[in-house]
Chain A
């Protein structure tokens, strides 16, 4: 699950370690936390999802036979 805006900083860092960012957590914990907060801000600005069955862009396309 993606981090939530109110998730504690320790939880964010634990999640970052799980996704392979242990070195960044060790050396730049503030940057990791800032990135997680920015991700939450981006998601919160998205429009409400309409129909979950909507086709995403771009639709799958086959190559035309030559």
Chain B
């Protein structure tokens, strides 16, 4: 079997069952690929070779003995280094936490171990899941496999880069203002931010308590659904966790788009924050594909993007300042410049500012809920621009806020990023679909229908 590094998790499971591939062969192959490519990409902070191979051998024995635990048994996964894995450092890509050894697994890691996955290592990120690509940190920033001079998006940069480069078939990211969906956009992969509270945050270093989500990242929608199946579920030790029953999230992946009502939020990228022409054209093409597939696409209006984003930003700034205030007072020089600047913003907000933002939030959640009276799924822009060069500070500062992701951290609705084109210069473009709260099944159905009809997920970077 050739090119095992491009197999999806679903294909890997089938290959194991058919004895065409073994967990040890796959893990060794990925470790070899990582050793060759990662020195250029910097996707990994730590590759856990020995533990990965041990887990692969255990999985192989179990599968051969007929004790397969499920579809992800023996499938390698990369973990953003803000998520605790017992016995390993959780550095958050920061000097501040270089020696922070996790005492126990995060809830999502416990669930992944129960599913039998192989943990390949810890993936790089923007420091503390904020900041930006920084060159003044203990680890270099991840690079975009489509063009290593370009930014891979963030903050789950390593997760996006590792998936796009075929270093892992699955990865976990976290998303407070779009940090799963931004690297998904820049790297041409799938990134899912589930409904707030569906996936436990326990054991994940917080950026902003009321906005933080943990999400699956993959190279196709079906794999994102499988990973969500494994990590979702109520956790009494996470106060934000919601006690809902979790069905099989990929139950409707094959149903197609016929009969779905898609609400196209055009004003986000047409008037609120006018998108790059290539992005706008790609979104029009998503509209065309859904129409062709039998969906009923109508225009939907939400509150202005500028206001949604500002409310999310103020809450994020206030909550992240509360978390980092003590370190910023005592060790400001141990942060990267970009992180320091972002985390100090909240120091200049008042208590009333925070409460006012939370008042607006309640109204904005209601506005998005109301939009679902006329639509089953919303279609919006993701990033308004293709990924810029990683060393262009001005372009990063200009393009980073030009996005439509953060509104759905504010409202908690599930949202998925999907590749929807390539620029003339060969960089990925991405669209975002948004679902009703706790209706990931319909969201994934729409995403899978688009993916199947468009075929963009089969594109690979020239690395």
Contact = CB atoms under 8 A, between A and B. Distances in A.
Nearest to A47: B307
B360 A46 contact: yes
Nearest to B337: A31
Interface in B315-348: 317, 325, 328-330, 332-333, 337, 340-342, 344-348
Contact of B356 (A23, A24, A27, A46): A46
A47 B308 CA distance: 9
Interface in A12-40: 12, 15-16, 19-24, 27-28, 31-32, 34-36, 38-40
Contacts of B47: none
B111 interface: no
B314 to A, nearest CB: 5
A56 interface: yes
| Nearest 3 interchain pairs by C-beta | A56-B358, A45-B310, A39-B348
Interface in B283-329: 303, 306-307, 309-311, 313-314, 317, 325, 328-329
Interface of B is mostly: helix
B98 interface: no
Interface string A47-60: 10110001111100
Interface residues of A, number: 34
Contacts of A36: 345, 348
Contacts of A32: 344
Interface of B: 210, 303, 306-307, 309-311, 313-314, 317, 325, 328-330, 332-333, 337, 340-342, 344-350, 353, 355-363, 365
12 contacts: A19-B347, A20-B329, A21-B329, A21-B347, A23-B329, A27-B332, A27-B333, A36-B348, A38-B317, A43-B349, A46-B353, A47-B310
Contacts of A55: 359, 362
Nearest to A24: B332
A37 B328 CA distance: 18
Given A42-B313, A45-B307, A46-B311, A56 B348 contact: no
A10 interface: no
A42 B341 contact: no
A57 B350 CA distance: 17
Contacts of A47: 303, 307, 310-311, 360
Contact of B310 (A1, A46, A49): A46
A43 B314 contact: yes
A24 B355 contact: no
Interface of A: 1-3, 12, 15-16, 19-24, 27-28, 31-32, 34-36, 38-40, 42-43, 45-47, 49-50, 54-58
Most interface-central of B333, B342, B356 (chain A CB within 10 A)? B356
Nearest to A38: B345
Nearest to A16: B347
B307 to A, nearest CB: 5
A35 B348 contact: yes
A57 B365 contact: yes
A20 B346 CA distance: 13
A2 B314 CA distance: 13
Given A23-B330, A27-B332, A46-B357, A38 B341 contact: yes
Contacts of A58: 210, 358
A52 B70 CA distance: 52
A42 B340 contact: no
A5 to B, nearest CB: 11
A31 B344 contact: yes
B359 A24 contact: no
